[in-house]
Amino acid sequence: MGVVKDAGTPFVSGEAVALDVRVARIGSRMLSFLIDLVVQVVLVWVLMIAAVFGLSTLDRFAEIDNALVSATLIACLIIAFIGYPVLVTTLTRGRSLGKLALGLRVVRDDGGPIRFRHAFTRTLVGVAVDWPGLILPPFTWVTCVWTMLVNRDAKRLGDLAAGTIVIHERTPESWGWVPAMPPPLRGWAAALDLSGLDDELALAVRHYLSRNRRIGEPYRSQLGQALAAEVAACTTPPPPPGAPGWAYLAAVLAERHRRAVALLAARRAASAQVWPELLAPRPALRGTALATWSPPAPAGPPPLRPGVPRA
């Protein structure tokens, strides 16, 4: 396929198939990390509250000292910052809550889903080195940011150690917005000759109509007049007197879209007449005559000709 990532070498799966993926950069990854961090902090508080209630039941049996409280806090931190992300990313195959919110996913370098060892390695390295202030001093965040900036796949040290990469799971869909037909121009648009209107000009008009509110004056009016003049030069008849420019452009695009849809429907109907089995729904095998069909019994030996012995 020859598809490459945002920058760097082609992203090839284990089956030697080029994949069309977008690598997640530092901006989306940091926002995903902040969402996960909020969830993990809340989880620490929930675990600590549960531990306090649990330890309060031991008050009559044993003395609760600072060492026990410190050990409980360490256990809660380990569960929230190591156990929780490893468990979630393993079960969801690379999607934490933050990554799920932003449409990101952790995959292996060959594009396959991660397993427990990948999730554990990248999480452990992330807690120990990448994320600031958890184990090493806070200035270690410079190492994480620098690695993600210089690496062509925006990998942090945890990704390099685990052999993983973070990608955008949601791919942008094709833009299919079409302006509505202004009712006063419906009859006029039906007689338009649109043979001279090419796809490039139609796309430019569509972009203008969808974004003209974000264009300041006088540039919005100038651009609209220029596009209307180009469309009028390649279409006939001319727009009705007094028709607003935006309505004229919207009517041209809406009529062009209506004719394209009608042409596709006509071609589909013609194909159905020539070869109806091609577009007919396939019958289900279960519960039909085809499912109970069995091949005929094999024919017996051919009859012997007189005077020819049987082999």
Residue-wise pLDDT tens digits, 240-255: 888 888 889 999 999 9
Residue 88 has pLDDT above 90, yes or no: yes
Which of 86-90, 226-230, 260-264, 288-292 is the least confident region?
288-292
What pLDDT is stored for residue 126 in this prediction? 84
Write down the domain spans for the chain: 22-168, 183-278
Confidence of residue 16 (pLDDT cuts 50, 70, 90): very low
Q: Transcribe the chain into DSSP letters.
A: ---B-SSSSB-B-TTS-B---EE--HHHHHHHHHHHHHHHHHHHHHHHHHHHHHHHTTTTTS---HHHHHHHHHHHHHIIIIIHHHHHHHHTTS--HHHHHHTEEEEETTSPBP-HHHHHHHHHHIIIIISTTSSS-GGGHHHHHHHHHHSTT---HHHHHHTEEEEE-SPPPP----PPPPGGGHHHHHT-B-TT--HHHHHHHHHHHHHGGGSPTTHHHHHHHHHHHHHHHHSBSPPPTT--HHHHHHHHHHHHHHHHHHHHHHHHHHHHHH-HHHHSPPPPSTTSHHHH--PPPPP-PPPPPTT----
Residue 136 has pLDDT above 70, yes or no: no
**In terms of pLDDT, which residue wins out, 161 or 15?**
161
Residue-wise pLDDT tens digits, 61-76: 455 667 777 888 889 9
Confidence of residue 280 (pLDDT cuts 50, 70, 90): low
What pLDDT is stored for residue 294 in this prediction? 47
| Section 110-128 average pLDDT | 88
What pLDDT is stored for residue 209 in this prediction? 86
What pLDDT is stored for residue 118 in this prediction? 93
Confidence of residue 206 (pLDDT cuts 50, 70, 90): confident
Residue 98 has pLDDT above 50, yes or no: yes
What is the overall mean pLDDT for the chain? 77
Q: What percent of the chain has pLDDT over 70?
A: 70
